[in-house]
Amino acid sequence: MKVANLDSYIDYLKFQKAYSDYTVESYYNDIVEFLNYCNQEALDYKKVEYSDTRIYLMYLKEQKKDTNATINRKLSALRSFYKYLVNQKVVKSNVFNLLNGQKKAKKLPRYFEYNELEELFKVPDTNTDIGQRNLLILEMLYATGVRVGELVNIKIKDINKNSRQILILGKGNKERNVSYGEYCEDILNKYLLYGRVNLNKNNSEFLLLNHLGNQLTERGVRYILTELIKQTSLSKSISPHMIRHSFATHLLNEGCDLLSVQKLLGHESISATQIYTHVTTDRLKEVYYNSFPRAKKDD
pLDDT-based confidence at residue 282 (cuts at 50, 70, 90): low
Average pLDDT over residues 13-19: 88
114-287 matches 4-98 in CATH topology: no
State which fold the 114-287 domain adopts.
hpI Integrase; Chain A (1.10.443)
d(CA 54, CA 64): 14
For 187-205, write each residue's pLDDT tens digit.
Answer: 999 999 999 999 999 999 9
pLDDT-based confidence at residue 90 (cuts at 50, 70, 90): very high
d(CA 34, CA 187): 45
- Please state, for a pLDDT cut of 70, what percent of the chain lies above it: 90
Written out in words, the top-level CATH class of the domain with range 4-98 is: mainly alpha
Among 66-70, 188-192, 266-270, name the most confident range. Answer: 188-192
Average pLDDT over residues 216-228: 97
What residues act catalytically?
A: 147, 171, 241, 244, 267, 276
- pLDDT tops 60 at residue 287: yes
d(CA 99, CA 90): 20
pLDDT-based confidence at residue 258 (cuts at 50, 70, 90): confident
Average pLDDT over residues 167-178: 88
H-helix segments, the chain: 4-11, 21-40, 50-58, 68-87, 114-121, 129-144, 148-152, 182-190, 196-199, 218-229, 240-253, 258-265, 275-291
Q: Is this structure's pTM higher than 0.85?
A: no
d(CA 185, CA 104): 40
Q: Please report, for the chain, the start and end positions of each structural domain, with discontinuous segments joined by +.
A: 4-98, 114-287
